[in-house]
Each structure stands twice: as C-alpha cells, then as structure tokens.
Amino acid sequence: MTKVQKIWLGLSAAMFVIPEVMWGNLIQIFKISFLPIYKDVQLFTDKPLLAFLIIILEISGTSGCLYLLNRKKYTNSIYLKYIINIILVIILLALILSLFLSFVMSQISFP
C-alpha cells in the first residue's frame, strides 16, 4: 500500500473505532464484555438523529476499510485477506441492520 492509502485506511478505521469505543453499540449486539466510555445511551433515545449520524459514520468507515483492503492484491496471505473481508462484511451487515432497526423504532420522518 502507498502512504496515502495507509493514511486513508487509518482514517477509515478511526471512523469506526472511535464511536465504537465511545458508545459500543455494535459490541453490545455481540454480547462482548467491553465497557464503553459513555454508558448512558439515553442520549440516543432523546436525539435519534445523532444515533443515525454515528451509525452512518461507522458504516462509511467500515466500507472505506473494506474498499482499501481489497484495492491492492496481497499475494503473501490470501487466506488472511478472505478472513478480514468476512469479518468486515459481517460488521457492515450488523451496522446496516442496526441502522434499519433504529430507523424503524424512532419517530423521525425524513422529508
């Protein structure tokens, strides 16, 4: 990978990791015992638009990582590439499901 691609990969990973560490909504779905920094999720029920923005930010970060990792062919370990792709696709599908469920459960109407 070039230096620019590594920077974009780090930025995309940070777009997923930082909200996940702050609130940990995806980690709670998989029942992993990890304590998020902000345990109060009342913020998301009071302001559902903020929850949408955070989930969309995580989706774009995961999609960016998936795109950048598949852009270059890795001849060293093709099995590692497939495992990382499967994990990223599962995370992406869980985030899309979370976005859909928060849309259905919220009272936001988009014009």
| Domain map (residue ranges) of the chain | 3-105
Residue with tokens 């950048």: 68
Q: What is the pLDDT of residue 22?
A: 73
* Residue 5: other Cβ atoms inside 10 A: 13
Tens digit of pLDDT for each residue in 48-76?
Answer: 777 788 888 888 888 888 888 887 665 56
pLDDT tens-digit map of 3-19? 887 888 888 888 888 77
CA dist 29 and 63 (Å) reads 19
What is the model's pTM?
0.72
Q: Which residue has the higher pLDDT, 77 or 53?
A: 53
Q: Which of 63, 54, 62 is nearest to 102 (CA)?
A: 54
